[in-house]
Amino acid sequence: MSIKKDFEIQTVPSMIESLFDDIEHGILSPLLHLKEFDSHWMLEFDLPLVNKKDIKITFDGNVLNIEAKLQKKYSEEKHGKTMTFQYFKKSISIPGEIDNEKITAKFQKGRLVIKILKKIIGKSIKIS
């Protein structure tokens, strides 16, 4: 007797995976508030239990990566199982052209705020 395959298992893209906690590796996905303005993007991450020196921000193409080590392990119990976390990690794809030279970040009281300027491409238009 042969079994017919009517479906195919697909892996979840890494950008979708970054929306959820990675229990197996002890990684939390921080809360993110994203705002778009005419001239820039404003991203706000909640990073409690983190020191400024333990935050790593990288930009690869249009993907912003945030990694942060917690000061101490954080544990929570759900459904009778204890989960322990040691890191925050999040990747965000920023649409459109951005100015890589004008990105600023500020960390205060557990909140990381990143401002990413959009690349303004000007063009002179001749009036006829």
Residue 123, C-beta contacts closer than 8 angstroms, at least 6 positions apart: none
In tens, the pLDDT along 84-93 reads 899 999 999 8
Q: What is the mean pLDDT of the chain?
A: 82
Domain that holds residue 46: 14-118
Whole-Å CA distances, 105 to 1, 9, 60, 62: 61, 39, 16, 16
Is residue 8, in this structure, part of any structural domain at all? no
Is residue 3, in this structure, part of any structural domain at all? no
Mean pLDDT along residues 13-19: 44
CB 65 within 8 A of CB 43: no
Count up the domains in the chain and report the number.
Answer: 1
Q: Measure the CA dihedral 80/25/52/55, to 10°.
A: -150
Under the banding of pLDDT at 50, 70 and 90, the label for residue 126 is confident
Can you list the alpha helix ranges (DSSP code H) found in 3-128? 14-17
Mean pLDDT along residues 20-39: 84
Under the banding of pLDDT at 50, 70 and 90, the label for residue 95 is confident
Is residue 7, in this structure, part of any structural domain at all? no
110 or 100, greater pLDDT: 110
| Biggest CA pair distance of the chain | 77
CATH of the domain at 64: 2.60.40.790
Tokens of 8: 């195919």
Under the banding of pLDDT at 50, 70 and 90, the label for residue 107 is very high
Q: State how far the Cα of 63 lies from the Cα of 53, in Å rounded to an integer.
A: 22
Is residue 98, in this structure, part of any structural domain at all? yes
- Give the per-residue pLDDT at 114: 96
- Give the per-residue pLDDT at 20: 61
Q: Cα–Cα–Cα angle for 95, 99, 100, nearest 5°?
A: 100
Q: State how far the Cα of 8 lies from the Cα of 20, in Å rounded to an integer.
A: 23
